[in-house]
Amino acid sequence: MSTLMIQGTTSDAGKSTLVTALCRWLRRQGVSVAPFKPQNMALNSAVTAEGGEIGRAQAVQAQAAGLAPHTDMNPVLLKPNSDIGAQVIIHGRAVTNMDAAAYHDYKRVAMDAVLESHRRLGAAYQVVVVEGAGSPAEINLRANDIANMGFAEAVDCPVILIADIDKGGVFAHLVGTLELLSPSEQARVRGFVINRFRGDIALLQPGLDWLEQRTGKPVLGVLPYLMDFHLEAEDAIDVRQSAKAEQSLRVVVPVLPRISNHTDFDPLRLHPQVDLRFVGPGQAIPGADLIILPGSKSVRADLAWLRDNGWEAAIRRHLRYGGKVLGICGGLQMLGESIADPLGLEGAAGQSDGLGLLALSTELAAEKQLRNVRGRLCLGDADISGYEIHAGISSGPALERAAVHLDDGRMDGAISEDGQVLGTYLHGLFESPAACEALLRWAGLENAQRVDYHALRERDIERLADLVEAHLDTARLHELCGLGGEHA
């Protein structure tokens, strides 16, 4: 077993992208490879085959490696539920909520889980490609680090440092990050990758020569900026859209303070007939055909935010004029009559009034529901697949008009008697082509095109592997992966 770690000079430098690219590139050569992220802080997550929860990016990397997602690929997941606190998930299961100070001390315990998962992956695969978190040069986070150099030192693996030139300051990022590392950590960095370059590479070459001379580290390659490229975001919301048809369905989504699994909307953002708008605080709420209330890590607090920002009145006005409203997971709970959190799982214990658009009530329970599911959507009897990640248990007469009939015999969600309001616990519902088409028709899009989102994701994973082959030093990558000349 060999381990190679990708660390970045900043968040969104391209770590997730490069790990995905390397996993597919190695798989093409017949190498058994697994992705790994010791610690992830994100509200976009996925459900594994064994019913655990990991970061969404690791599920995509698993696809690139040709594997089913597994909790060992992301043994520690932190899901923020306040500015200073998060739910701590170890090996796919929520164990506690902690503030940042308490977690800092807990990292010694979390490191045991990290090393345990890494050992298991190492025993099963030839190469483990590891993604760091943020930057290794965050001075205040270096003590007890398990996400970057702390992990690399513990398992004695080489590191590639990636930086995003599109942000500007790429040489300062690389040199500055290296300078802030200890001598042993500096020696662990075996080379640089520069990401998202556009322009004439000849004009960049003097800078690359200087960088290699200044640091003594090789530049392993420069990856070009990809247009019309999509990879599910680890946390940040991507507001880019593909070209739209003249007559598009207008969809708006409020950007809740604790919005979760906003990757649900990537198939809509990429759909040629959908004009998707994310609306943040202080922004005017535009007219729309469909309003979607997304998932939330703090449902009651985010519902209060919705009210404070004028969404309740906007939703009622939207419905009066014949618009449609869809709620997903926490959004479904908001559509009901009440939300109770007696254990204080997402903040102060208590109960909040819902929007009252569906006759159901929700109570948050200690045990989180984690499932991958399949079924039939009530609209057009369309095939649907998705995943459940929720602590709430909903009950009430609205559920008798189920939105989804699941293959395991359960009913999910609800649709109002007038057909204007629909809610479901299923994340990923727009990834099913038939279900996406049926939902768009329900929302008012006649002659909705069927788009295969999985095929689009697979296409872009292949494009990433092509970039590795064309723009990186593959001989050096084979060496760093412990493959020598065997696959060169």
- Residues 263, 51: Cα–Cα separation, whole Å: 19
Chain centroid to Cα 486, Å, comes to: 34
Q: Would you call 257 helix, strand, or coil by DSSP?
A: coil
Amino acid identity of 230? H
Measured in degrees and rounded to the nearest 5, phi and psi for residue 373 equal -135, 160
Measured in degrees and rounded to the nearest 5, phi and psi for residue 395 equal -145, 155
Q: Is the dihedral of CA 415, 421, 425, 426 positive or negative?
A: positive
- DSSP class of residue 237? P
The residue assigned the tokens 């479904």 is 332
Half-sphere exposure of 303 (CA within 13 A, CB side): 24
Nearest to 176 by CA among 163, 158, 187: 163
| Residues classed as catalytic | 329, 427
Burial class (CB in 10 A: 0-12, 13-18, 19+), 269: buried
Nearest to 5 by CA among 113, 112, 107, 156: 156
- Residues 69, 56: Cα–Cα separation, whole Å: 10
Sheet holding 76-80, edge to edge: 39-41, 76-80, 85-90, 93-99
The residue assigned the tokens 């040069």 is 137
Element containing residue 459 per DSSP (H, E): helix 453-471
Work out whether strand 259-260 and strand 274-279 pair parallel, antiparallel, or are unpaired. unpaired
Nearest to 8 by CA among 167, 160, 186, 188: 160
Task: Say if residues 323 and 344 touch (Cβ distance below 8 Å).
Answer: no
Output the CA torsion 90→94→99→100 (10° steps). Answer: 30
